[in-house]
Structure 1
Amino acid sequence: MNAIQKTKNAANAFAKNWANFVIKFKWPVLILTILLAMGLASQGKMEFDGDYHVFFSESNPELEAFDALQEKYTKDDNIIVVLAPKDGNIFTRENLVAIEELTAEAWNTPYSSRVDAVTNFQHTSAQGDDLYVDDLSYDSANKTDAEIAEIREKALKEPLLVHRIINEEGSVTAINITVRLPGENSAAEIPEVTIATREMMSKFQESHPNFDVYTTGLVPLNTAFFESSQKDLMLTMVMLLIVVIVTLILTRNFFATLATLVVVLFSIMSAVGFIGLNGIKLTPPSAVFPTMILTLAVADSIHILVTYLQKVRKDGLDKKAALVESMRLNFMPVFITSLTTVIGFLTLNYGDVPPFWDLGNIVAFGMAMAFLFSTTTLPALMAIFPIWKSKKIAKQQDKELHKGMYARLGQFVIKQPLRLTIISLAIIGMLAYLASKNVFNDEFVEYFDTTVQFRQDSDFINENLTGFYNVEFSVGSGESGGINNPEYLQKLNEFEVWLEEQPEVVHVNAFSEVARRVNRSMHGDDQNFYKVPENREEAAQYLLLYELSLPFGLDLNNQINVDKSESRVTVTLENNSSAEMIAFAERSEQWLEDNAPEAMHSLAVSPTLMFSKLGFRQAESMFKGNIIALILISLVLMIALRNVKLGFLSIIPNVTPVLVGFGLWFLLKGTINTGMVIVFGMTLGIIVDDTVHFMSKFLRARRELGYNAKDAIIYAFETVGKALVTTTIVLLAGFVVLSTSTFALNSYMARITVIIIIAALVIDFILLPSLLILVSKKEEKIVTEPKMQMQLDK
């Protein structure tokens, strides 16, 4: 007896002994697994974190640069409230009064540190040698028509207002509320601000129904992340119902459905315990873990149950014998698919997006527990439950071999393996080429479906007032007080002018504009002096006088640092693709390097830019993880199949579905986001499930039953075809439900996974059997099992 056969016998003996043990001690096994699941669940604690910072690792260089910029100035988040009066004119007495009221109320927002509006804009004017800085519009109720007309004229000529606080037509205006969150508990702080803001907006609209109100900004963005997490978690209930229905239809057995439901619920309960024990906070990507575990765990149960029911209904075995035989046939394939799924999800830790680390670890643990429960709780329950046995017993296996839908599909494949291989590889090659044409695009506003209020509001604001995307620079002077240096101010002014000339730029907010405005006012509002001061002492005096005139909360701390050695330039952009955003940032950095002294060189930073680079960074970091996963899974299959040649061959059906998926995605969409980068590692285990079950049945027919390659292919179709189709349908149901998510990172990932799952089944039904026939020797027949074993299989 050779080594392969000894290993095979040992594996069979272990599976049989395991099954006999579980069946014999079914009640203790069931009670112990119930206690394990409930014990883990008791440690569960699900908290949500909606802060956009969670998408970036602590070592992320863009995050470090952005945090450094905020430390220099003011660390703040914001809520942009946009008001659109139905009469289309901001500058009426009634509308200005309403804006004044809302501006005053906005100061009561929790953690608010600054409120900017058209009414409280600090307008400078001069009377003789005196500089006056006043709200652009105060006590609006008592303004005359002429005064309101003058306010309108000043506002629409003010560069710091147009395309930032008001639009060119004066029909839409914004109130920007700056908040400084303590950062101690974002899960509590962000909802607190959101609730207060929504109550304020609701009261405002009750009092002023002539206004349409829209909100955007970093706090609403965080809120949208937070609410998306909760909504996606609720998809679990929908999926649970679908799995019950699909499993019941496909197995036509109530008790099998109930046992499956118990396994998936125990798996999810265990994962919840894992979350609590590790202090993980859920985010939109990681909040889909129940749907994933539920979907994948069902696949384990389905293979065992379908074989069990076949042995009872077709082969006439009694309950215990059918359970033992099902466990013998499926224990190793289920173990392999569980192991490869765990490996695939653990590779998400190689990425650069922490929420996907959490998703990978949670699902990996859940799948490990799913394997445990499907090989203990499931057979124990089926041993306890009664079986509704069909009286019809099929004919012998060799007579049944060439009958049925799956046998006909097998007949189709074995007649033309070479032709099918060539056609399949040609199609895969073409789609692999198209897959390389996909481009990254991580516009975080588009992370949300158009049904999400945040997305709707942001789109309106982008179209009617200002862009939501921005890029910031901290431009240094190289010395304390250097921002008053005329040479610095001149270069800063040139940079501002260059930025405004760029096609994607909507607005530029730079200190050079303040310097020009104050200089003009200090020279009797003479337009000829609307330029940066040419004398350092003069510039310093003007700045001091201006700062002393500013009211509390509207100072320049958000624009110049403490020792006045650096100033902040904020560039507002149209909604651009990730590549365009990165290109603009690099172009701007290059302009400073080419045209300004070294002290003024600066890196472009902003949350927008961080998200734009996130997909590229994730792809680079995941590449290594995917290669490692592929190598590990191939080694696992070589060992499990005990055949190096077939282990290498398995790489083809394990990799090609992903290439096909991304190729078809290019035809459908053409852009991919951060969530889709993880698909390769995530779907490897799913794809391997089809491959390993088909190949294991093929090898069983060759090694145990002595079939030639073509008959072994038909045997594999007959014995595992239904189970593969069944698990595919369940997987599709799960990911189709997830594809309805309003969060694009999840929905896009689910949609391409649906394509990949379908491609995997087609490839494993067409290309894999064709390859198996081509690489097998026609004359090779291995009959190593005793007659008794062969008879049992028949």
Structure 2
Amino acid sequence: MFKWLNSRFWNYIAGRILRNRIGLLILVGLFTVFMGFQWKNMRFTFTEANLLPDHHEVNVQYQSFLDKFGEEGNLIVVGFKDSTFFTAKNLKIWDAFVDDIKKDKAVDLTLSIEDLQVLSKDTTAQKFNLVPFVNRKSITDAYVKEKEKELFNDLPFYEGMLFNKESGAVRFAIYIDKKIVNTAARKDFVFKHFSQEKIDAFEKETGLDMHVSGMPYIRTLNAQSIIDEIGLFVGAALLITSLLFFFFFRSYRATLISMCVVIIGVMWSFGTLGLLHYEITVLTAIIPPLIIVIGIPNCIFLINKYQQEIKLHGNKAKSLQRVISKVGNATLMTNLTTAAGFATFIFTDSKLLTEFGIVASLNIVFLFILCLIIIPIIYSYMPLPKDKHLEHLGKNYMNSFIKWIENTIKNYRIAVFATAIIVLVLGVIGINQIKISGSIIEDMPKKAPFFKDILFFENEFDGVMPLEIMIDTKKPKGAMKSVTLKRINELQEEIEEIPELSKPVSIVNLVKYAKQSYYNGNPDYYELPSSKLEEGFVLTYVKNSTQENSQNLLKSYVDSTGQYARVTTFMKDIGTDKMAKIEERLQEKIDKLFPKERYNVTVTGKAFVFEKGTHYLVHNLVLSLLFAIILISLLMAYLFRSFKMIIISLLPNILPLIMTAGLMGFLGIPIKPSTILVFSIAFGISVDDTIHFLAKYRQELKQNNWRIKKSVYNSIKEAGVSMFYTSVVLFFGFSVFTLSSFGGTIALGSLVALTLLFAMISNLILLPALLLSLEKTIANKEEFIEPTIDILSENLEEDEISNEE
């Protein structure tokens, strides 16, 4: 398959690039303009990441729920915990605040103190009427205090929904149009009515602390945080990589050239998102800075080789030709292995990861093409580097570092292997302590005001993450039958005993409230009808009421056919382990209460779907990591065609993964969607150093008549410098992601950086030590059959271009 990729081919590529410099630069410019025009198609996500494939059973059940009851995440809640809220002054200010919101066409319904309605018994028509709870014309401090007392003591229907009787906290609901929940209009609505300026103004006028939350609000501010961080990451990545690059090379023009290359790569990555019409999510948002971090090592290898050649013979044309023909092939293979690490996400059957894998892997290949074209062409128009630009090639600190490595593998090889075995054992022990975790809000910015509001509602109302239970009675109007109501009531009693869940709401609450209203609002009668006769009277009133006002009374609890009932509760931010126990407890109760031959009961909701998605993702990403190892092993087989060399090349790269996983176990860092990505990404990148080292090692073997020791030490001296440079850039480059306010992005950046640091040490110390220790078994030429891809061949016709130039 790759046999045509030989030295003559790369010599030909070098010739074409250097002879068609103007044309290629024009093509790059035109393609950059084309990709720039695709930016108009970029859009930011308006929903949480769906980690499950569309055809998954849990997704199908959730979609069925949405079909029956509509979008669940259309509720914005506003809460206060201050007794001074119930004053005439503050209530009027709040009234004005809400009135402005109610005028917006995006509002479906508001449930606030001033527009709260209660059931009133009409004995003549034998029905319930909805009457205002507050008379706006009678607003005085005394009247407001009386209504506060009535709300907390006489309306148990709203307990847990609108107020916390124990703490005195209150919250009010704003239901926005379900049609705009997952559109850009939701963002406009949130920033129009709940901007920080409006909240601050309200708090200053009333002296109250306003807390705002709910899925539309959380989604909007979370998405805005993602948008804000893209610029931060790109800027920080450019700054840190340019500073490191300049520190290593001490050349403004080398630094400027590299920055130009990666900036074009960033533009192409944004263009790819637009061209494919992919949404910008918390994952795809890290691709542009990722391109910078991965692109700089390409520049280091190419520019370092150019400067080495200039220092060797001073011929610019020959140097540029060798950069392309000798380093280009090796750089292609390293970029392919990196792209392979990302490409494995394509096979996870998760839309979120598939899109991330496609865009990342494509742009890594694009980046290679950019580097191979732009760097040699620009240098061809520039004067030869001065001596000061080449001084870094013989820096004392690098010589000391290389000598320390040589001394370590020469005199302390047993200690190296002992350390590796200890790390392996400790890593395995740590892996056994890793826990799986994941929730929608777990990785959200902890310092953001909206996250603090989430904690407020968790403490006062037991969460904001909706958990739904849909009950199919298999018969029209079956949801209103007394036997069904009693079963639902018993299920709700079980839910109320679970501290991580809020007080549930369903048709049962409405029927209880109807009975209370039937008995003239006496809260002692807030319960299900206790006899057939009582049930007949109460349900007759309900039935007569729903004929006139069904939209207000039943639409949120029972579907239009009356066959499906809904129980809604809210969940705190808990880990998947607790969620699994809660699910097991609920399922046990459901199986007991609802016989399968008479009912179909489904547990669903955003929180439930995300928890199931986390487990699904972890399973698939473990498989993707194994696939990455197999795929990269096949690439290594094409390179070296030696089974022993494949094993030797994989060991120094798998050990850092085990070490990082072990640290996660010991430090209590759970496996979740963000942290599981670390291993495939880090493995694909760390193998690059192995390829560069072994490629140089094989070349040295041929030049040194298959003498292992001399070849290993020579490889360390030449390849070690570039490996050190690139690893340092990668370490600090990925560390940029620790600037994020998202816990998942911080974990991803820090763990990848740490893994790559371990991988550098492993490839510079353990890999050479393995080669030296296995000297007798790999010293013969048979172990180095002529490779399918000769990535560092010396037999190049470089003089061809030199003569023509």
Contact 1:438 1:672 in 2 (8 A): yes
Matched, 1:11 2:6: yes
Q: Say if 1:561 and 1:322 are closer, same or farther in 2 by CA, change over 3 A.
A: same
* Cα offset, 1:413, TM superposition: 0.7
Matched, 1:340 2:337: yes
Matched, 1:59 2:55: yes
Residues of 2 paired with 1:67 and 1:122: CA distance?
Answer: 32
What amino acid maps onto 2:164 in structure 1? N
Residues of 1 paired with 2:778 and 2:443: CA distance?
Answer: 57
2:247 is matched with: 249
Residues of 2 paired with 1:173 and 1:150: CA distance?
Answer: 13
Matched, 1:611 2:610: yes
Q: Say if 1:672 and 1:393 are closer, same or farther in 2 by CA, change over 3 A.
A: closer
Of residues 165-174 and 447-456 in structure 1, the stretch that sits farther from structure 2 once superposed is 165-174
Pairing partner for 1:288 from 282, 286, 289? 286
Identity %: 18
| SS of the residue 2:468 aligns to | strand
| SS of the residue 1:582 aligns to | helix
Q: Say if 1:143 and 1:70 are closer, same or farther in 2 by CA, change over 3 A.
A: farther
Of residues 273-282 and 95-104 in structure 1, the stretch that sits farther from structure 2 once superposed is 95-104
Q: Say if 1:154 and 1:177 are closer, same or farther in 2 by CA, change over 3 A.
A: closer
Residues of 1 paired with 2:721 and 2:153: CA distance?
Answer: 70
What amino acid maps onto 1:417 in structure 2? R
| SS of the residue 1:114 aligns to | strand
Matched, 1:368 2:365: yes
* Cα offset, 1:686, TM superposition: 0.7
Unaligned runs of 5+ in 2: 799-805
Contact 1:247 1:257 in 2 (8 A): yes
1:726-765 matches, cutoff 5 A: 726-765=725-764
1:17-166 matches, cutoff 5 A: 17-56=12-51, 57-84=53-80, 87-126=82-121, 131=128, 133-139=130-136, 141-142=138-139, 145=142, 148-149=145-146, 151-156=148-153, 158-166=155-163
1:525-565 alpha-carbon deviations (Å, 9 max, x no partner): 55664432233644531322443686x97432011111222
What amino acid maps onto 1:611 in structure 2? F
1:532 is matched with: 528
Contact 1:78 1:176 in 2 (8 A): no
Matched, 1:514 2:510: yes
Contact 1:708 1:780 in 2 (8 A): yes
1:686 is matched with: 685
Residues of 1 paired with 2:654 and 2:332: CA distance?
Answer: 20
Of residues 499-508 and 368-377 in structure 1, the stretch that sits farther from structure 2 once superposed is 499-508
Residues of 1 paired with 2:186 and 2:148: CA distance?
Answer: 36
Residues of 2 paired with 1:766 and 1:747: CA distance?
Answer: 29
Contact 1:654 1:688 in 2 (8 A): yes
1:697 is matched with: 696
Contact 1:109 1:197 in 2 (8 A): no
1:441 is matched with: 437
Residues of 1 paired with 2:261 and 2:130: CA distance?
Answer: 70
Contact 2:462 2:500 in 1 (8 A): no
2:379 is matched with: 382
| SS of the residue 1:212 aligns to | coil
Residues of 1 paired with 2:647 and 2:602: CA distance?
Answer: 47
Pairing partner for 1:196 from 185, 192, 198? 192
* Cα offset, 1:420, TM superposition: 1.2
Residues of 2 paired with 1:195 and 1:440: CA distance?
Answer: 35
What amino acid maps onto 2:47 in structure 1? Y
1:478 is matched with: 474
1:65-117 alpha-carbon deviations (Å, 9 max, x no partner): 223213212435334342426x5344333343344444443323442212122
2:772 is matched with: 773
Contact 1:475 1:567 in 2 (8 A): yes
What amino acid maps onto 1:472 in structure 2? E
1:194-223 alpha-carbon deviations (Å, 9 max, x no partner): 123225944961784322222111111221
| SS of the residue 2:40 aligns to | coil
1:358-437 matches, cutoff 5 A: 358-390=355-387, 404-437=400-433
Matched, 1:173 2:174: no
Residues of 2 paired with 1:637 and 1:409: CA distance?
Answer: 25
Of residues 443-452 and 746-755 in structure 1, the stretch that sits farther from structure 2 once superposed is 443-452
Q: Say if 1:528 and 1:230 are closer, same or farther in 2 by CA, change over 3 A.
A: closer
Residues of 2 paired with 1:161 and 1:316: CA distance?
Answer: 85
Pairing partner for 1:589 from 587, 590, 611? 587
Pairing partner for 2:224 from 227, 230, 234? 227
Contact 1:347 1:629 in 2 (8 A): yes
* Cα offset, 1:687, TM superposition: 0.9
2:645 is matched with: 646
Q: Say if 1:157 and 1:538 are closer, same or farther in 2 by CA, change over 3 A.
A: closer
Contact 2:431 2:665 in 1 (8 A): yes
Residues of 2 paired with 1:138 and 1:764: CA distance?
Answer: 77
Q: Say if 1:391 and 1:613 are closer, same or farther in 2 by CA, change over 3 A.
A: closer
Q: Say if 1:127 and 1:788 are closer, same or farther in 2 by CA, change over 3 A.
A: closer
1:586-609 alpha-carbon deviations (Å, 9 max, x no partner): 321221112233334412111111
| SS of the residue 1:506 aligns to | coil
What amino acid maps onto 1:346 in structure 2? A
Residues of 2 paired with 1:43 and 1:82: CA distance?
Answer: 39
| SS of the residue 1:540 aligns to | helix
Residues of 1 paired with 2:203 and 2:357: CA distance?
Answer: 46
Residues of 2 paired with 1:744 and 1:630: CA distance?
Answer: 27
What amino acid maps onto 1:705 in structure 2? N
Contact 2:437 2:614 in 1 (8 A): yes
Normalising by structure 1, what TM-score? 0.90
* Cα offset, 1:157, TM superposition: 5.2
Residues of 1 paired with 2:750 and 2:644: CA distance?
Answer: 33
2:803 is matched with: none
Question: Aligned Cα RMSD in Å?
Answer: 3.3
- The count of aligned residue pairs is 776
1:245-284 alpha-carbon deviations (Å, 9 max, x no partner): 2211111222222221222123223333322322222122
Residues of 2 paired with 1:209 and 1:688: CA distance?
Answer: 61
1:264 is matched with: 262
1:621-643 alpha-carbon deviations (Å, 9 max, x no partner): 22332222211110111111232
Contact 2:66 2:72 in 1 (8 A): yes
Residues of 1 paired with 2:517 and 2:490: CA distance?
Answer: 21
Contact 1:626 1:680 in 2 (8 A): yes
1:723 is matched with: 722
Pairing partner for 1:568 from 551, 563, 566? 566
Q: Say if 1:608 and 1:143 are closer, same or farther in 2 by CA, change over 3 A.
A: same
Contact 1:352 1:617 in 2 (8 A): no
Residues of 1 paired with 2:76 and 2:184: CA distance?
Answer: 20
| SS of the residue 1:731 aligns to | helix
1:294-335 alpha-carbon deviations (Å, 9 max, x no partner): 11111112111112223334x354323333344444222211
Of residues 195-204 and 75-84 in structure 1, the stretch that sits farther from structure 2 once superposed is 195-204
What amino acid maps onto 2:768 in structure 1? P
| SS of the residue 2:528 aligns to | coil
What amino acid maps onto 1:77 in structure 2? G
Pairing partner for 2:320 from 310, 320, 323? 323
Residues of 2 paired with 1:565 and 1:102: CA distance?
Answer: 39
Contact 1:232 1:284 in 2 (8 A): no
Residues of 2 paired with 1:371 and 1:628: CA distance?
Answer: 23
What amino acid maps onto 1:71 in structure 2? D
Q: Say if 1:499 and 1:546 are closer, same or farther in 2 by CA, change over 3 A.
A: farther
* Cα offset, 1:167, TM superposition: 2.1
